[in-house]
Amino acid sequence: MFLVIAFKLNDRYLMAKMGKMIQLTHRLVGLLQVLEWSWKIAVEYLQMNNCFFGSVTEDFILDIRNIFNRFHTTNNVKDRTFVSTVTSVEHAINISEALLEQYKLLMRLPDEIIRVTGLNKNNTKDGITEHQKSDEKLEKSKSKRAEHISRILLFNSVMFTPTTLYESHNVFKHYSQNVNMVLQDLTTTGLLKDFQDGTISRTKKAVVYVKWIPKENDPIECQKFELMLATFNDPTICAKSVIDATTTASLLPHKAKPKPTVLNYLNDDRYARLNLQLGGSAAAVGRESSI
């Protein structure tokens, strides 16, 4: 019972998938066993005739029937039973497990299912209700993915931390994990460069993200940049809008300062067109105004 509740607390569809996996595994066992028997019959046929003749004739059917009867000899055909091999069962289980893992990856489920123990009925009901509300908030956050992307790319600073985005109200504070996934996706596509532990701080480490922009006189990089932005199908996001929106180099309201490695990266020629002043602390310096 508690295991069922645990699955439901993680994903309301996962328990249904688990139940269907049993039926699927049974069917896979049958299919794999038939394929195994068919393979043995095919090998035996080739040993007898050296090749297949390309057509299904009466002689072909008779040969296959004789091979089958020889493999499964019995005095009474009605009493003949077929038992699946352990190998077929293991293969079917492996396939089912692989399919379930693919489902978990697609739905971003955790590898370890939280096991709920020691719950009474009232606590269980309250827990499920709370997680249902949590699921609704997560779905709402996912539905705003396009808005997260737009606000991040059009953020006025060329560098920022997640705290910078949240405290400046540039992205939604609820479900920060989902926003972090957007940041990771933008980093993977090459639109952001991440610097792990990129701040000078004695208390807390933070990832500093820097917008990647193409070199102004490099047509290949400029075209690449436009193509990457075009994948979002958002008319407000283009090379001009992203570059024009980027007016400062600031981590505020994050209290930490960027490490020299971050500032050195921003000294690259590709950022020259932004006219950013990176001297001094570089805490909040830009073209138009300081944050």
Does any domain span residue 291?
A: no
Which of 116, 136, 156 is the endpoint of a domain?
136
Instruction: Write the CA distances from 267 to 221, 263, 282, integer angstroms.
Output: 18, 6, 12
Task: Give 202 or 128, the one with higher predicted confidence.
Answer: 202
Q: Looking at the structure, tell me whether residues 19 and 132 fall in a common domain.
A: yes
Q: Is the pLDDT of residue 81 over 60?
A: yes
For residues 214 and 270, is the Cβ–Cβ distance under 8 A? Answer: yes
Same domain, yes or no, for 164 and 275?
A: yes
Stretch 36-57: mean pLDDT, rounded? 82
Q: Given pLDDT bands bounded at 50, 70 and 90, which one contains residue 208?
A: very high
Q: Which residues are bridge partners to 257 per DSSP?
A: 200
Please say which residue of 136, 159, 183 terminates a domain.
136
- pLDDT of amino acid 15: 56
Q: Is residue 59 part of a domain?
A: yes
More confident residue, 230 or 70: 230
Let me know whether 191 and 273 are in one domain. yes
What does the pLDDT average to over 141-152? 78
pLDDT in tens, 157-205: 999 988 888 877 656 555 456 778 888 889 998 999 999 888 887 667 7
Residues making up the chain, counted from first to last: 291
What are the backbone dihedrals phi and psi of residue 160, each rounded to the nearest 5 degrees, phi first? Answer: -165, 165
213-224 pLDDT per residue, tens: 999 999 999 999
Alpha-carbon span 35 to 29, nearest angstrom: 10
205: buried, middle or exposed (CB in 10 Å: 19+, 13-18, 0-12)? exposed
* Full residue range of the structural domain in which residue 224 is found: 144-286
Decide if 176 contacts 141 (C-beta within 8 A): no
| Co-location of 50 and 174 in the same domain | no
Lowest-confidence region among 110-119, 191-200, 224-233:
110-119
Do 89 and 193 fall within a single domain?
Answer: no
Q: What values do phi and psi take at 283, rounded to 5?
A: -75, -40
> pLDDT higher for 38 or 10?
38
Q: Are residues 130 and 162 in the same domain?
A: no
Q: What is the structure's pLDDT at 222?
A: 92
User: What span, in angstroms and rounded, lies between the C-alpha atoms of 209 and 177?
Assistant: 16
Global pTM?
0.50
- What is the pairing mode between strands 159-160 and 192-195? unpaired
In which band, very low, low, confident or very high, does the pLDDT at 288 lie, cut at 50, 70 and 90?
Answer: very low
Helix (H) or strand (E) holding 89: helix 86-106
Strand locations in the chain (E): 159-160, 192-195, 199-200, 208-211, 248-250, 257-258, 284-286
pLDDT of 17: 65
Predicted pLDDT of residue 172: 57
